[in-house]
């Protein structure tokens, strides 16, 4: 569904994406992981057409991204930091998006709005919302139009455990509908039960893009975090991020 | 333009536009109240309009652009083209600033001086607003941050209200031995504020005091070609910066 061909991107002197190529298909849940500043968000924004790559091409469902915005009808995007017009009320925000896409309420997927109980605060202006509530709004927007592709940038960061669980359930539910879901997260335990593929970025380079089964086979680890750590160590690339990740794992229950 | 509605709504909520309308209204009303001769009042009003309108249009548009960055970001992840996003922003700002002008200045003019001069002032006011909104979009799309954006907007204002006239005066003084009427006419018409000033002034009686040059200008601007020329220049000044802004905006990383 999404094919990325030899993408390069420089911000001034900093090369953020180096010759990235990948082929993503329906039914895949891809965990896009990598240290801070490795180019995850830039890659996502390139797919959305918000960042213009210096070279290479991206096609979504066969359409090359070059200005015609209609392909974005198929994409639901949840940004890392949801920033919305200060003066707009939550209800208006949903109304406006509905107007832009011209999809009537009956055909919308409003389950997250209900589960996060956003209707109660529909008349609150966006500027008064806490970070977590903004995340809830972002999530509800991403799923609102039942898109074939979901791009979620740090979806559970900032959400309370209950809401994070609701969102995870929702992602699993959408996964069953044979959608392409692209998730970035630093909390690997969140991704464990969801992902089918792992895409690892470091310093703007795509280190590997594998499905979970072969990753587990290669490393002999069932847990995603450990498997990745193994791979990275095997390739003699150890960094602090991996160590830190494993540290967190020690405190967790093993199941 | 479904989106312009929300842009407009956002602008109306922050009340600056209402303050601007009131300011224009109070100034215009007091001009007409203080001066018994309505054409004298028109002259003072024109001078205020020519200074305040470009300044407010530039600064307001630039600040609005940076304030609605979140909105632009949100829109650009939706199935909407960048061109449409920027044009909606332009339409929203233009509608609000023009209505502020038409209420604030237009209403008093219609009440106290509903003549040729009055309507040409309103026409040029609307045109100037459009021109400077378009210039402001150009400046803010190009600038990386808010400070630079507002800075370059102010520079543009200084350039068009002060520096440009100074340069023209310099040319006229240095080349005073040559007949420069037509050349200066051309130079002046390249500045939207100057052309607006001439266009309105020549409709007034005081233009007779300006000598031979004025007679030449009156011949030109009084004619149908002159009006078309003025409108044409204003349209070019609106479209070209806006087009450049859209082109830049389309290549920009958000």
User: Chain B residue with minimal CA distance to A81?
Assistant: B70
Q: B11 vs chain A: nearest CA distance in angstroms? A: 9
Where does the pLDDT of residue A254 fall: very low under 50, low under 70, confident under 90, or very high at 90 and above? very low
* % of chain A surpassing 70 pLDDT: 90
Q: A237 vs chain B: nearest CA distance in angstroms? A: 31
- What is the 3-state composition of chain A as percent helix, strand, coil, each rounded to the nearest 5? 40, 25, 35
pLDDT tens string A145-169: 999 999 999 888 888 889 988 998 8
pTM of the model: 0.86
pLDDT score recorded for residue B67: 87
- Taking the Cβ of residue A128 and every Cβ of chain B, the question of whether any pair is shorter than 8 Å is answered with no
- Taking the Cβ of residue B12 and every Cβ of chain A, the question of whether any pair is shorter than 8 Å is answered with no
Determine the average pLDDT of the residues in A104-128: 88
Report CB contact under 8 Å: B13, A87. Answer: yes
User: Chain B residue with minimal CA distance to A78?
Assistant: B77
Q: Which residues of B touch A79 (CB under 8 A)?
A: 73, 77
Strand ranges of the sheet holding A14-24, from the earlier edge strand across to the other edge: A14-24, A2-11, A55-60, A63-64
Where does the pLDDT of residue A255 fall: very low under 50, low under 70, confident under 90, or very high at 90 and above? very low
Distance of alpha carbon B108 from alpha carbon B44, whole angstroms: 14
Distance of alpha carbon B201 from alpha carbon B186, whole angstroms: 17
Strands A14-24 and A180-184: unpaired
Among B3, B69, B70, beta carbon nearest to A100:
B3
CA pseudo-torsion sign B144, B146, B151, B153: positive
Task: Say if CB B131 and CB B238 are below 8 A apart.
Answer: yes
Determine the average pLDDT of the residues in B9-35: 89
ipTM confidence = 0.81
Quick one: how far is CA B146 from the chain centroid? 21
Q: Which residues of A touch B11 (CB under 8 A)?
A: none
Residue from B50, B23, B38 nearest B199 by CA: B50
Among A45, A77, A100, beta carbon nearest to B80:
A100
Given a cut of 80, whether residue A192 has pLDDT beyond it is no
Given a cut of 90, whether residue A194 has pLDDT beyond it is no
Q: A33 vs chain B: nearest CA distance in angstroms? A: 22
| Residues whose CB is less than 8 angstroms from the CB of residue B114 and which lie 6 or more positions away in sequence, other chains included | none
Among A67, A88, A101, beta carbon nearest to B79:
A101
* % of chain B surpassing 70 pLDDT: 95
pLDDT tens string B88-122: 999 999 999 999 999 999 999 998 888 888 888 99
């Amino acid at each position: 569904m999404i094919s990325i061909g030899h993408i390069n991107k420089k911000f001034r002197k900093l090369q953020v994406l180096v010759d990235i190529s990948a082929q993503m298909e329906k039914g895949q849940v891809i965990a896009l992981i990598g240290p801070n500043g490795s180019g995850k968000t830039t890659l996502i924004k390139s797919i959305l057409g918000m960042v213009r790559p210096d070279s290479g091409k991206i096609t979504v469902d066969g359409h090359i991204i070059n200005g015609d915005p209609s392909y974005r009808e198929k994409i639901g995007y949840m940004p890392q930091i949801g920033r919305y017009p200060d003066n707009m009320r939550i209800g208006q925000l949903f109304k406006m998006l509905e107007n832009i896409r011209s999809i009537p309420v009956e055909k919308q997927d409003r389950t997250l709005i209900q589960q996060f109980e956003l209707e109660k605060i529909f008349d609150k202006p966006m500027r008064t919302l806490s970070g977590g509530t903004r995340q809830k709004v972002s999530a509800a927007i991403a799923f609102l139009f039942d898109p074939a592709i979901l791009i979620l940038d740090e979806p559970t960061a900032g959400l309370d455990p209950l809401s994070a669980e609701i969102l995870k359930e929702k992602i699993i539910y959408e996964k069953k509908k044979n959608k392409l879901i692209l998730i970035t997260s630093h909390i690997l335990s969140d991704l464990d039960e969801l992902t089918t593929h792992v895409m690892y970025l470091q310093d703007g380079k795509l280190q590997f893009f594998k499905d979970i089964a072969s990753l587990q086979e290669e490393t002999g680890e069932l847990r995603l975090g450990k498997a990745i750590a193994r791979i990275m160590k095997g390739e003699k690339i150890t960094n602090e991020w991996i160590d830190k990740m494993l540290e967190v794992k020690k405190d967790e229950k093993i199941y | 333009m479904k989106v312009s509605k929300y842009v407009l709504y956002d602008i109306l909520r922050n009340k600056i536009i209402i303050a601007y309308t009131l300011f224009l209204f109070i100034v215009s009303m007091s001009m007409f109240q203080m001066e018994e001769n309505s054409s004298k009042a028109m002259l003072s009003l024109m001078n205020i309009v020519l200074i305040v309108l470009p300044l407010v249009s530039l600064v307001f548009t630039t600040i609005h652009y940076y304030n609605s960055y979140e909105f632009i970001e949100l829109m650009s992840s939706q199935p909407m083209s960048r061109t449409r996003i920027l044009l909606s922003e332009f339409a929203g700002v233009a509608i609000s600033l023009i209505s502020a002008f038409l209420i604030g200045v237009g209403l008093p003019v219609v009440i106290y001086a509903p003549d040729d001069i009055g309507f040409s002032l309103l026409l040029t006011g609307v045109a100037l607003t459009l021109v400077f909104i378009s210039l402001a979009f150009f400046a803010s799309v190009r600038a990386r941050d808010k400070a630079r954006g507002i800075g370059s907007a102010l520079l543009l204002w200084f350039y068009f209200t002060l520096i440009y006239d100074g340069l023209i005066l310099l040319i006229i003084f240095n080349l005073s031995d040559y007949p420069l009427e037509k050349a200066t006419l051309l130079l002046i018409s390249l500045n939207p504020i100057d052309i607006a000033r001439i266009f309105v002034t020549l409709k007034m009686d005081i233009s007779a005091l300006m000598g031979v040059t004025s007679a030449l200008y009156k011949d030109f601007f009084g004619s149908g070609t002159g009006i078309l020329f003025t409108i044409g220049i204003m349209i070019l000044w609106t479209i070209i910066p806006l087009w450049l802004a859209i082109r830049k905006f389309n290549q920009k990383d958000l």
